[in-house]
Amino acid sequence: MAVIHHTVLKPTKLELLTSWLPSRAWYRGAAPRPAKAGGFRLDDPQGEVGIEFLVVTDTADPEPVTYLVPLTYRGAPLDGADHALVGTMEHGVLGRRWVYDGCHDPVMVAELLALIEGRAHAQDQNTSDLPARDVVASCHGAGPLSTDVTVTDDREGTALTAPDGTTLRLHRVLRPAPDGTVSLPQGAIGHVSASWQAPDDTPVRGTFAVLHSATPA
């Protein structure tokens, strides 16, 4: 299990995101003021890469918007991923860490797909060796999922598309499900859903990612 260190980060994750969010196609604001709203972690089987699905709410505008920001934390740069670098930080225990948009990190992609397939389990965001029991994942009607994906950002979110056309779409802008009941679009063959804190501190639940089958020829 990943060990959560309660220590000082310079700059903080939220400070890094303040600079990085405006460069994203799916960001809806202008000058972000992000606040932590929830999330969960996944374990790297090799114990080298930190994987966090961070949920932040941008409170800069009158209508706050909540974003899903998967991040990976590495002790050295990831080859060929300069375009996905969010920034670097100094960790009080681990030293310098390179922070990446996790959608471009093969370790995160592999563990997210393992979560959907039921081979991995979500972990609490803040406590070591504690399952995140509010995270629900499902997969049906699909064979082994490919980790060889093409990553595309657009106004609505991020698509991870395999060579066979199977696509995992991450909902970068999170919306609470009515009455907390998550419903999937027609044709979905898998998903990840979880809860977070709304701006008024009430717990809400919604869809983080949806897996779509390949489009028929």
pLDDT per residue, tens digit, the chain (217 aa), is 566 556 667 899 999 999 999 999 999 998 999 999 999 999 999 999 999 999 999 998 889 999 999 999 999 999 999 999 999 999 777 779 999 999 999 999 999 999 999 999 999 998 888 999 999 999 987 778 899 999 999 998 999 999 999 999 999 999 999 887 888 888 899 999 999 999 999 999 999 999 999 865 4
Provide the residue type at 87 as one letter. G
pLDDT at residue number 217: 41
| One-letter amino acid for residue 2 of the chain | A
Q: Where are the alpha helices (DSSP H) in 64-166?
A: 106-117
Residue indicated by tokens 């909540």: 66
With tokens 């505008």, the residue in question is 61
- Tell me the Cα Rg of the chain: 17
Please report the pLDDT score of residue 2 as a whole number: 63
Residue type, 109: V
Q: Is 31 exposed, middle or buried (0-12, 13-18, 19+ CB in 10 A)?
A: exposed
Look at phi and psi of residue 78 and say left if phi exceeds 0, alpha if psi is from -120 to 50, else beta.
Answer: beta
Query: In Å, what is the CA distance from 116 to each residue of 29, 121, 164, 188, 212?
Result: 31, 9, 18, 12, 12
8 Å CB contact between 55 and 184:
no
Q: What is the pLDDT of residue 126?
A: 87
Predicted confidence at residue 7, as pLDDT, reads 64
